[in-house]
Structure 1
Amino acid sequence: MNNDPFLFRESKKYKNPIPSREFILAYLDKLQTPIDHNSLFKELNLSRKEHYKALRLRLRAMERDGQLILINRYHYALPYKCETMKGFVIGHRHGYGWFRPEGQISNHIDVFLPHHQMRTIIHGDYVLVRSFCAYKNARKEGRVLQLLKQCKDQIVGRLFFKNNTKYVLANDSRINRDILIPDDDSSNAQVGNIVVVEIINRNEHCAKGIIGKIIEVLGESMLPGIAIKVALLTHKIPNIWPDNVEKEISNFLNFSGKISEKSKKGRLDLRDLPFITIDDEDAHDFDDAVFCKARKNGGWRLWVAVADVSYYVHPNSYIDKEAINRGNSVYLPSRVIPMLPEVLSNGLCSLKPKVDRLCLICEISISDMGKLLDYKHYEAIISSHKRFTYNEVSAILNGDKVLRILYNPFIRHLEELHKMYKVLKNARNHRGSIEFDVFATKIIFSCRYKIDRIEPIIRNDAHKIVEECMILANIASALLLEKSKIPVLFRIHDSPDNINLKELRIFLDRLGLNLTGGLKPSSKDYANLISKIANHKNKELIQSVLLRSMKQAVYSSNNTGHFGLGLKVYVHVTSPIRRYSDLVLHRLIKYILSQENNTLTNSYYRYSSSDINFYSAQCSMTERRADNVNRMVSDWFKSEYIKDYIGEEFNGIIIHITHFGFFVRLDELYIDGLVHISCLTNDCYKFNLLNQSLIGKNFGINYRLGDIVKVKILSIDSEHSKITLKLVKGK
């Protein structure tokens, strides 16, 4: 106190002066961590009661004036010592939340928001936050400094009535606050109805909390159409074309699916080459077509023709802006939300058979060892000679006599593609590319959204032929783009972090397996392990755990390579109808071609670094968003389908373990359900994170990943896609 240079000034103002603001700020500047009121009182050598109260009032005033920040409700720190960031709120059903910095996709740097910070904000809000560590080595927490933009998204929920008050409970568990509905804003909705709500008042001082208005009544029960609409609204999937887009769409309707003579000028005519497309049975948007032929001196020449979307969709057009907003097409069971209007995605751009189409060609020379020797890109016009399905090509290659007679003119071309694929696959394995045979299912409908059955998706050689061709075209395009030294939208996949590797090694050790490579295993180490488990009884489970140990692939302006493919540089260019990232790179490739040929077209564009940074975040976000909505809709359909099996018993395998129980994949239905820990009544179980197991405290019984169990389907909550199982036979 005696060291305070402003003591004389404070003595004139106050009868019992305390340290000045300047002295307190200087003292806090020397501290490494925030300090609470009581500790500061002692550190300043204060002892009298009136000093205690005066210090509390001064600290509050300094916080009010922005000189201090209150952390964790009790601790004070200087503002400059706290990191300030802008970003979005991610709510949690238990009332707390997380802050994700703007432009970030991964959750690795999310900042924790405690309950009291979530009182005036909800999931989806755009906020300014200061992050800090209240204690040494503690996780980062955040304090919301300013609500920059309220989330205006429509919210889906069910209407309830209690204590003479109507309120909506949001279907999205990340919004855990009731939305109160005044009588005159209820839109004649009945209690129990599923409704769409618009928030009209979120004043933090409003005693009633969040006030909403019902703008649409969806119905009483979660029917298929309603379930899809709920999922689209929950995950903010744009699915209605704006009026200005509709006007631009009308400009393409006059083409009648045919390209103009003007558009063919300056393009190489490849209509005589027997290009083919290979896709799923229900596909309509054909992005790519392929053709290859053997070279006289060994190896092959491969042509990958990709739909020239950039010719029709120009930067800053309304269709382009909506495509940016959507980011990619969303494929749901029984429905597709396209990135581009159908007149383009299924019409002018789609490489349908026996019609002329504009394409960007990637022509590649391949050695007899599968090495990429040379490549070139150019604009062309093609006419696909045949549309094949994966199953048709697979059957032809496996000797189906009927199909081989029916498609005799194409047999030689398909077999040449198959030969080339085998060599490319060997080259890919040699460089250490990871190839997961990931378990996936397909929902087969009978009629009116009624599920007939659920089938596992089996990847055959036809899938792999197309995949290898597309990977090679992406590699060639990446080399061209990287060489140009312009800002590029790379597809990157970082190596696993140490924490995930530690958990993975514990799991593998229990199965008698080992991942080589030490602290920094390469993709080749992963690939070698996958080859070793080819005939393992728990192959699918091991692959699932291996996949979870790895990071997600994202788009980035900074090239760090692609760990999974074992490549130093990689991009996506082969699906511009359904991925905006590919459309961006088509424009960049055309820019490079225009510089080389000294030609100008209206379909090239050079993006700035800030543009590429934006598209990196946007395309990565929309990709995850599409995955989430697909999972939500699929889970709903599966939970509806399994209702017919309530009470029946099935064998299954434990695929995931948490502190509240374990998830079992049912053998015959390919559906996952939860055995809650409360149903394990033969012991008191504790979750062991390192061993990924539930261990009985009294008898030592444990349940681990990969264990085979027998369960009974106990109950279904299809509205929230929850399937509850009861253990019948385990350990």
Structure 2
Amino acid sequence: MAHSSTDRFDPMLQNNALLAQLKQDIRANTPRVQGTIKATDKGFGFLEAEDGASYFIPPPAMKQVLHGDRIEAVIKEDGDKKQADPESLIEASLERFVARVQKRDGRLAVIPDHPSINLALKARIKRSLDESTIADGDWVVARLIRHPLRPDDRGFFTQIDELVVKSDDPAVPWRVTLARHALEQECPPAAESWPMADEGIEREDLTAEPFFTIDGEKTRDMDDALRIEAADDGWHLTVAIADPTAYVDESHPADKEARTRAFTVYLPGQNVTMLPEALADDLCSLKPDVERPVLACRLHVASDGTLGEYRFFGATIRSQARLVYDHVSDWLEGSAEADAPAEPIATQLKALADMAGARAAWREANTLVFKDRPDYAFDLDDAGNVLGIRVEQRRVAQRMIEEAMIVANACCADLLAKEVGHGIFNVHNAFDPEKVDQALEFLTAQEIAVEREQLTELARYRELRRALDDREDAWLDARLRRFQGYTNMSARPGPHFGLGLPAYATWTSPIRKYGDMVNHRLIKRVLKSEAAPEEASLRLTEQLTERRRLNRMAERDVKDWLYVRYLGATLEHGEIFDADIIDIRRGGMRVRLIANGATAFVPAPLIHSDRSQVVIDDKEGRIQVAGEARYQLGGSLRVKLTEAREATRSLVATPAE
């Protein structure tokens, strides 16, 4: 009987099939885990699995991964020990990143600017860059293009896409930080001219009214001016706000750039404006003795601090005084050296102080008022060196302006909610919706009677917050912060638990915030009885929230860098600092120095000479030393700085008690 070739027995084919099946069976029965890489400075690392488990990774295997990589790993057991063997990459922690160039013996590499990644990664330079302009130690933007866990990639390899700053440039902290967060390095370009648009709104002539501004001494983008008159039943306050939308419509290139930037970035010694400086610091700034177009709100505040009727309108003003916070505060507080403002400005300042006091008292009784925290200002020379750090307390003049802006923004929120139904609102939940149950469990464990509605409903939360404030328990407040929510931008009105208000929408800083420009345009549509499309607000909110987060991170990072440089030079003096405990982790505690606002880490080995005597309960936020309670969240202590690490922009401290 004849057989075709396909019917013949082929042992090699059968063996291949069996081998493939065997491999498939082995793979199916081999335990695998997905998780995130956590590197250590000792060469080994850990895979932090999604279920909370942690697996050891030996040094040879760590050469295949970077801190923060999300991977899938094979789990191998050796007796009671379990070890992770990286197998495949899910998501690389590095994509676009800032790094320092390393040139050694003709070889080019980059070292990522990351506290937990200390590897030199092979690199090439983008073709459009001139390699001769990039030297050892320079700062660059690089991109990871090969990873050992990707198919067909043998090792790490990167490409240098951009030179950020030369290593010897005094602007390194600013340039590097802005590049890390992909923020613009320069202010936007100006147009050749800025003609006012005919927007079809009537502008009332208020140039004869004695408006005034109060700002910091170095402020150039002055965006709010006030006029206040005392009445038998309270005060009539007019808030006049700079009007960049009078020059920049939604089709203007400057508007597109402002929409991308979203905010002016304020860094120590440098501002990167949202709008061109010609607008922000000149044409729109409410300088004294020059006419300026404004969007205004005239509102009534009753003697008991309650907010009454309000009216929005377009206007033209001429500020009659440029005042400075400290000078106004000195005068109102009765300093003998303070010069009295001219009339009628002086009368208005007293009226504004009275109104602010009434509003603060009303908010204390009916909404929420949180404790003041000082600001810290860096005094820098022209080369960016820190000459000193000043504590800036919020004084009476700052409170006056703050209360005026709060009432104006509350009016904006009310108008947009009623007349438009959307806009750019600041919405803040007291507690993260996903953490409400945890917060409820925590408060119950502290024997604090609380109902779920007190964490989720504004009126009920006000009661709870005031009851908690009466306890004056710093540890309790610090622990609760772990469950609290963040302020987000929302296209629709919602409660702002932090201020205790049913809705809050800012329009008082349009030179600095794109969301305020959007709200200006919506207010103008109301004035013209025009419909307002909702889609624009919906698209913007996520971007605005993200850009605000990046701006805050950039400000923090530059300050950390300057703190390390400034305080690092003082280590040899052994200065002792009073500090507040702001975080407790398994490895130690984080503290804030009261004198200058710097944060430092106190590692567990430095808490006590015998590490075995230190018991850290990071969940409860408490530390025991030799069996006795010693430190807790919200508490205070005295510390001495031991290290200032510029590579990671971090300070290390030890208790000085």
- TM exceeding 0.5: yes
- Structure-2 separation of matches of 1:197 and 1:485: 44
Q: What's the counterpart of residue 137 of structure 2? A: 193
- Distance across 2 between alignment mates of 1:179 and 1:327: 34
Alpha-carbon spacing, 1:594–1:51, altered in 2? closer, same or farther (3 Å): farther
Q: 2:361 aligns to what SS in structure 1? A: helix
The answer on 1:488 being equivalent to 2:423 is yes
Report the CA distance shift for 1:437/1:473 in structure 2 as closer, same or farther (over 3 A). Answer: same
Aligned equivalent of 1:659: 586
1:186-224 Cα deviation digits (max 9, x unpaired): 924788503214438447433242321364373446x64
Question: How much has 1:523 moved relative to structure 2?
Answer: 3.1
> Alpha-carbon deviation of 1:547?
5.2
Deviates more, 1:276-285 or 1:638-647: 638-647
Q: 1:455 to 1:501 in 2, by over 3 A?
A: farther
Among 315, 337, 342, the alignment partner of 2:250 is 315
- Is the CA contact (8 Å cut-off) linking 2:391 and 2:596 kept in structure 1? no
Matched, 1:336 2:271: yes
Deviations 1:504-535 (Å, cap 9, x if unpaired)? Answer: 7599x6xxxx97744425134324544664xx
Task: Name the counterpart of 1:274.
Answer: 210
1:332, CA displacement in angstroms?
0.6
Counterpart Cα distance in 2 of 1:184 and 1:560: 48
**Aligned with 2:462 (options 511, 514, 523):** 523
Offset of residue 304 of structure 1: 0.7
Question: Which of 201, 218, 221 is residue 165 of structure 2 equivalent to?
Answer: 218
SS in structure 2 of the partner of residue 250 of structure 1: coil
2:221 aligned partner: 285
Paired position in structure 2 for 1:368? 303
- Please report how far the alpha carbon of residue 728 of structure 1 lies from its aligned counterpart in structure 2 after TM superposition: 3.9
| Structural RMSD (CA) | 4.4
Task: Give per-residue Cα distances to partners, 1:410-468, cap 9 Å, x unaligned.
Answer: 11111111111111112212222232312432222355323222222200111111111
> How far apart in 1 are the matches of 2:126 and 2:297?
61
Whether contact under 8 Å (2:39, 2:66) holds in the other structure is no
Instruction: In structure 2, give the amino acid aligned to 1:170.
Output: P
Map of 1:86 onto structure 2 = none
Correspondence 1:705 to 2:649: no
Which position in structure 1 is the counterpart of 2:644? 716
Residue deviations 1:258-316 (CA, integer Å, cap 9, x gap): x79x78983111112211111111111111111111234x1221111111111112113
Matches within 5 A, 1:506-521: 517-519=450-452, 520-521=454-455
| Match 2:609 to one of 661, 676, 681 | 681
1:144 deviates by 11
Distance 1:488-1:268 versus aligned 2 partners, 3 A rule: same
Match of 2:98 in 1: 156
In structure 2, what residue type is equivalent to 1:231? T
Other-structure match for 2:516: 582
Distance 1:183 1:518 in 2: 60
Change in Cα spacing, 1:356 to 1:546, as seen in structure 2 (3 Å) is farther
- The letter of the residue matching 1:620 is T
The 3-state SS of whatever aligns with 2:281 is: helix
Counterpart secondary structure, 2:351: helix
Q: Which of 490, 493, 502 is the matching residue for 1:568?
A: 502
Partners of 1:630 and 1:503 lie apart in 2 by: 35
Whichever residue aligns with residue 726 of structure 1, its letter is T
Q: How much has 1:364 moved relative to structure 2? A: 0.9
Q: How far does residue 619 in structure 1 lie from its aligned partner after superposition?
A: 0.9
Residues 217 and 546 of structure 1: is their aligned pair in 2 closer, same or farther, counting only changes over 3 Å?
closer
* Counterpart for residue 80 of structure 2: none
Count of residue pairs the alignment pairs up: 603
Distance in 1, Cα, partners of 2:369 & 2:397 = 19
- C-alpha change, 1:175 and 1:284, in structure 2 (3 Å) is farther
Question: What is the distance in 2 between the residues matched to 1:305 and 1:156?
Answer: 43
Are residues 451 and 312 of structure 1, via their aligned partners in 2, closer, same or farther at CA, if it must alter by over 3 Å? same
2:212/2:319 contact within 8 Å kept:
yes
> Counterpart of 1:482 in structure 2: which amino acid?
A
User: Per the alignment, do residues 432 and 500 of structure 1 end up closer, same or farther by CA in structure 2, a change over 3 Å counting?
Assistant: farther
Counterpart CA distance in 2 for 1:359 and 1:146 is 52
Equivalent in 237, 240, 243 of residue 305 of structure 1: 240
Give distance in 2, aligned partners of 1:459 and 1:271: 31
Q: Which amino acid aligns with 1:672?
A: T
> Which residue among 324, 327, 333 is the counterpart of 1:389?
324
| Paired-residue identity, % | 24
Please give the alpha-carbon distance, in whole angstroms, between the structure 1 residues aligned to 2:36 and 2:191. 36
1:525 is matched by which residue type in structure 2? L
Query: In structure 2, what is the Cα distance between the partners aligned to 1:72 and 1:591?
Result: 62
2:571 to 635, 646, 650: 646
In structure 2, do the counterparts of structure 1 residues 558 and 481 end up closer, same or farther at CA, with 3 Å as the change threshold? closer
> Does the 8 Å CA contact 1:484/1:592 hold for their aligned counterparts?
yes
Q: Post-superposition shift, 1:350?
A: 0.9
